[in-house]
Amino acid sequence: MAITDKPTPPGRPGRTKDEPPQRPEGGDPTFDAHGGDVIARTEAQIVGTSQVERSDAGETLEFEQELMTINMGPHHPATHGVLRLLVSLQGETVIDLKPIMGYVHTGIEKSCEDKAYWKVIPFIERMDYLSYFFNMQAYCGAVERMLELEIPSRAQYLRIIHMELNRIHSHLVWLGTTALDLGAISMFWYCFNVRDRILDLFEMSAGQRMHTRYFQVGGVMEDIPLGFEEKVLAFCAEMPERVSQYEALLDKNEIFLQRTRGIGIVSRERLLELGVTGPLLRATGEPWDLRKVSDYLPYRDFDFKVPVGTVGDNYDRYRVRVQEIRESVRIIEQAVLGLPDGPWVADDRKIVLPPRHELSTSMEALIHHFKLVTEGFRVPPGEIYNAIESPRGELGCYVLADGSAKPARVHMRDPSFVNLQSLRDMCIGGYVADLIVNLAMLDPILGGIDR
């Protein structure tokens, strides 16, 4: 049947191939009566009308002032992760800024509710991929406190050694990527070269370079191998000279100084209002460090200082972190030289797996091993919040137990999430170019923000 022979549907105007097209009733502006391209139409919502994407910056402007709103991210190299910033600009000046998150979708906290206590550890340590030892300590420490389980002194020292190595590792990644954002690409290679040596040490002691699962409830997974202490001390002997070389490269770089000094200043009082901790707060002169005021691990055994800044600008944030590398080296040296002898894990067989050699000689050890692997251990009902000092500030873990072998709720107080609030105060009134530096000095990890 030819097209012109088709019957006309009732109530629908049809036409043959010889009839000219007719404009439909209602005056569709996209309809071309004489042929040619037709503008596509969509029912999608126009960007900028939702509450999340709305900004109040335009209400403060005069009629002759022009405002431009741009999206930075969520895929942008300077955001160091999947972070979207809604930025309102007047010329090159930042008028308003709103971080929009939720693009990672890890679901880590919810996944923890479906796992036995000892199986939660691999989830937690993947949250902040630059401070996995700290994630493990926050969670394992919370469970140990609920169980009232005392871990051996050797295990406590081994945890401190690995956590301080992890702090240096995290600060090196921050220093290299921040300098890269400012155009100093050489720093990136120097920092990652040393960072790789730290990963070699992690591989030597834990068998993995990242996400080691070295900490477990009751202590650590295994004792350190022969030669580990000598390698760590050799690293500590070399590291202060490396730090001096980094400082020589940056402290005499006029571009670096002009891009950091007097930029992104936020007062100590404002940071305290926002709950900001870590190097950002210490850069304003506030010497708050949980290693000095809490006893979650025996840091009182070591002599170290808490670096602080003066005005709280980006240069102070850089100086505080660099000096913290030196202090971490001091702690590691003291911990290795004073490492106690003895077991590296608690001997409570109802919580900690028995040694492998006991399984072939002890029926009781075999039963405990079977029960722990298949069912896990039970935690008395209750709740607890365990906070430690991570490279980015206070890292807290809240655990709610209902008496079963799985946690009823696990919630992390990640410093990246809390510290992100201060980015707006750093950027308002500054240039858009300084936004890049401010974000780099914030040192956010998006895996910790979207949990």
The CA-atom distances, in angstroms, between 17 and each of 5, 34, 122 are: 11, 13, 68
DSSP-derived letter for residue 252 is T
Task: Using the CB atoms, write b or e for 62-82: b if 16+ within 10 Å.
Answer: eeeeebebeebbbebebbbbb
- Contact, 97 vs 423, CB < 8 A? yes
Q: How far is CA 360 from CA 221, 357, 363, 368, 372, in A?
A: 20, 6, 8, 13, 17
Report whether pLDDT(41) > 70: no
| Mean per-residue pLDDT of the chain | 85
Q: Which of 398, 351, 387, 373 is nearest to 113 (CA)?
A: 398
Residue 232 is encoded by which pair of tokens? 């760590």
Query: Minimum mean pLDDT among 20-29, 147-156, 261-270, 289-298: which range?
Result: 20-29
Query: Tell me: the pLDDT tens digits for 387-424?
Result: 999 999 999 999 999 999 999 999 999 999 999 999 99
Residue 190's closest CA among 200, 178, 202, 201?
Answer: 178
Say if CB 71 and CB 417 are below 8 A apart.
no
Average pLDDT of 374-399? 93
Q: Is the Cβ–Cβ distance between 442 and 419 less than 8 Å?
A: yes
431-448 per-position pLDDT tens digit:
988 998 999 998 888 888
**401 and 303 in contact (C-beta within 8 Å)?**
no
Give residue 175's identity as a one-letter amino acid code: L
Give me the pLDDT at residue 49, please: 56
Q: Are 138 and 395 in contact (CB under 8 A)?
A: yes
What pLDDT shows up at residue 64? 59
Selection from 85, 425, 443, 415 nearest residue 271 by Cα: 425
Task: Report the alpha-carbon distance of residue 165 to residue 167 in Å, rounded.
Answer: 5
Q: pLDDT for 149-191, tens place per residue?
A: 999 999 999 999 999 999 999 999 999 999 988 888 889 999 9
Greatest CA separation found in the chain?
A: 98
Q: Using alpha carbons, select from 442, 445, 450 the residue that is nearest to residue 178.
A: 442
Tokens of 282: 């210490």
Token code pair at residue 107? 């679901």
Give the mean model confidence (pLDDT) for residues 221-234.
93
Q: Are residues 444 and 84 in contact, defined by beta-carbon separation less than 8 angstroms? A: no
Query: What pLDDT does residue 2 have?
Result: 43
84-90 and 68-72: which strand pairing? antiparallel
Least confident of 191-195, 235-239, 373-377: 373-377
Please give the span between the terminal C-alpha atoms of the chain, in angstroms, as a whole number: 61
pLDDT at residue 382 above 80?
Answer: yes
The fraction of the chain above a pLDDT of 90, given in percent, is 51
State the DSSP code for 360: T
Flag whether pLDDT at 374 surpasses 50: yes
Query: Tokens 């910033």 correspond to what residue?
Result: 85
How many Å apart are CA 22 and CA 15, to the nearest integer?
A: 9
d(CA 407, CA 400): 6
- 57 pLDDT above the threshold of 70: no
- pLDDT single digits (tens) 101-151: 888 878 888 999 999 999 999 999 888 889 999 999 999 999 999 999 999
Instruction: Answer for the pair 379, 117: CB distance below 8 angstroms, yes or no.
Output: yes
Dist CA 280 CA 441 (whole Å): 8
- In the block, tokens 């590691």 appear at 332
Residue type, 142: A
- Of the listed ranges 74-83, 196-205, 229-238, 266-275, the one predicted with least confidence: 74-83
State pLDDT tens for residues 327-352.
999 999 999 999 999 999 998 888 88
- Residues above pLDDT 70, as percent of the chain: 85
